[in-house]
Structure 1
């Protein structure tokens, strides 16, 4: 019988404290997610619902994404920026034809909701934090389409992306649509939906329906440790982990997924345009391999990354990967050479060149 080990039992201060760390064998769970398909309970994520006739045009005007013509049952990603172009919020979204659903980091819902409420003015929108009522779970792995068929919604079309244009691109290069589109479909009998993602699929259902979803999917469970290990290996950034108060979207690769470079009139737009046309953001996302010789302990989030005794960045997420060993996503200065010998606490680190 599987024994769930909650993150809270290991570290109650962890942002993922509301999730299960593992079910007894983290490496086996990683292998399942990497080679087959498993189900990860990510219901500790915040969920906002934005119903109302003006919702898409309103979100279009406030965020980095092109949303005003988003078709029903389609998802994407968006950012809310500071006036200086720094990332303040990141959310994945799905519109079901009547409501736009935003899922974001655990505990981040109230902050984004407060911002949205201050921007409502006379718009016909009713944003609300519905985290207590709705749960997000994820199917992860190459057999995701087969799992979606079992649930009666698949297969769904894979993510559809617009290429990021070169600097100094001509007007009209980027089409008037979201830079990435995730196909979605309603879940029969569960009052929710499935959204195809690069790693698999997200499933949003009422919390009361989670046991029914788990039974219907029939997939082996995997903990958040396995999900995070594969996320790090795939170099997918996470808000609050691979970001700080100075993060620009281009530094962590969010331009492709969440920023429409020809959509104007949103906060921080000038910085986005300037950084893109200059072509070199101040920092970059890197995958580090940690030697694990001096210590086998993983470095804490935001541990400094040093070069010759000088801090040149920070660790976002460090994990134990079932094949790669100790690895970490880090944000480092743009001019750090790919072959630089770095130090993370007592561990020597090298940048993955691939």
Structure 2
């Protein structure tokens, strides 16, 4: 029996709690996934993206990355993801559901700037490597591959971008050395436990980034102007937001699209859900009056309890 087969069997017999613990405390590897990857090149690429984004991208040096959002003129999300500075250009690592809107949005305002966008989505896949041991396990491996360190999968780690066959090979190597295999459902449970929103589920073009709790992670209030800035500043004024994202303890059967009610009135909706070691949990939007841990609303005729408030309203 091969080492990969043995580790696959070991991962298969582990409980969900054991697998998620490995992701937080050791090393786990998710399935190879598609991403929307754009490369911006040209002498104005970094400056242009800095002016289009909510984040301070001007400070990035080659090898450094930042989490950012790109907004419409009305302040709604067009895309969110990591921006990685490279010697050969700037890479944008976005959720596939953000394409082609993200590229259209970025290209339509290029007038005098020297910047060109190239879609690398078909050429690259991501290997999610999670856990505090991720950096050590990746040392010396595929050193030229774009690598983005972050915690937006619910655990510390890195996403490694590689051509499809190389991505599968890297994943197999890590599993053979003892990393724990996670499937899509287990990654989803890890994400929801950590209350991290996902584009296409908990965030879309109808949402402001602040409603989804992205204020501290993705918005710089000290940089210059960007598209949607006026709306962001107005909406982050105390008391302006009316709906926001929360983490919920859900009854069995509740899932994306389940309406949340209180006193017979609709007050929100579930946007994502998963069975976890702590029970069925989900993320969803609620009206402001229910933004407090312990608040109880109705989800399909059964109680759902707010565990954590994700929406952010910083004092400016």
Aligned Cα RMSD in Å? 2.5
Long gaps (5+) in structure 2: 310-316
Q: Which of 85, 91, 109 in structure 1 is aligned with 2:81?
A: 91
Counterpart-to-counterpart distance in 2, 1:352 and 1:71: 38
Q: Which of 273, 282, 289 in structure 2 is aligned with 1:328?
A: 282
Q: TM-score w.r.t. structure 1 length? A: 0.76
The 1:26–1:42 alpha-carbon spacing in structure 2 relative to 1, beyond 3 Å, is farther
User: Which shows bigger deviation, 222-231 or 263-272?
Assistant: 263-272
Q: Which of 149, 152, 155 in structure 2 is aligned with 1:196?
A: 149
Q: Secondary structure at the match of 1:252?
A: coil
Counterpart-to-counterpart distance in 2, 1:346 and 1:223: 31
Counterpart-to-counterpart distance in 1, 2:120 and 2:148: 18
Counterpart-to-counterpart distance in 2, 1:23 and 1:87: 38
Q: TM-score w.r.t. structure 2 length? A: 0.84
CA shift at 1:350, angstroms? 0.6
1:282-335 residue CA offsets vs partner (Å, 9 max, x unmatched): 22221111133xxxx341x233211122111111210011x2110001111112
Q: 1:220-231 to 2 correspondence within 5 Å? A: 220-231=180-191
Q: Secondary structure at the match of 2:165?
A: helix
Aligned pairs, number: 294
1:148-180 residue CA offsets vs partner (Å, 9 max, x unmatched): 223226xxxxxxxxxxxxxxxxxxxxxxxxxxx
Per the alignment, residue 303 of structure 1 pairs with: 258
Counterpart-to-counterpart distance in 1, 2:36 and 2:302: 34
The 1:43–1:353 alpha-carbon spacing in structure 2 relative to 1, beyond 3 Å, is closer
Counterpart-to-counterpart distance in 2, 1:126 and 1:203: 23
Per the alignment, residue 281 of structure 1 pairs with: 241
Per the alignment, residue 232 of structure 1 pairs with: 192
Q: Secondary structure at the match of 2:146?
A: strand
Counterpart-to-counterpart distance in 2, 1:30 and 1:298: 22
Per the alignment, residue 110 of structure 1 pairs with: 100
User: Which shows bigger deviation, 32-41 or 234-243?
Assistant: 32-41
- Check the 8 A contact 1:136/1:203 in 2, yes or no: yes
Counterpart-to-counterpart distance in 1, 2:15 and 2:204: 29
CA shift at 1:123, angstroms? 2.3
Counterpart-to-counterpart distance in 1, 2:94 and 2:300: 30
Counterpart-to-counterpart distance in 1, 2:12 and 2:130: 16
The 1:211–1:241 alpha-carbon spacing in structure 2 relative to 1, beyond 3 Å, is closer
CA shift at 1:38, angstroms? 0.7
Q: Within the alignment, does 1:213 sit opposite 2:170 as a pair?
A: yes
Per the alignment, residue 29 of structure 1 pairs with: 19
CA shift at 1:108, angstroms? 2.2
Per the alignment, residue 219 of structure 2 pairs with: 259
Q: Within the alignment, does 1:143 sit opposite 2:133 as a pair?
A: yes
1:181-236 residue CA offsets vs partner (Å, 9 max, x unmatched): xxxxx932xx4132221221111112231133124433232112111111111111
Counterpart-to-counterpart distance in 1, 2:73 and 2:61: 29
1:114-136 residue CA offsets vs partner (Å, 9 max, x unmatched): 12221222322221111111111
Counterpart-to-counterpart distance in 2, 1:337 and 1:60: 33
- Check the 8 A contact 1:241/1:302 in 2, yes or no: no
Q: 1:27-106 to 2 correspondence within 5 Å? A: 27=16, 28-106=18-96
CA shift at 1:279, angstroms? 5.2
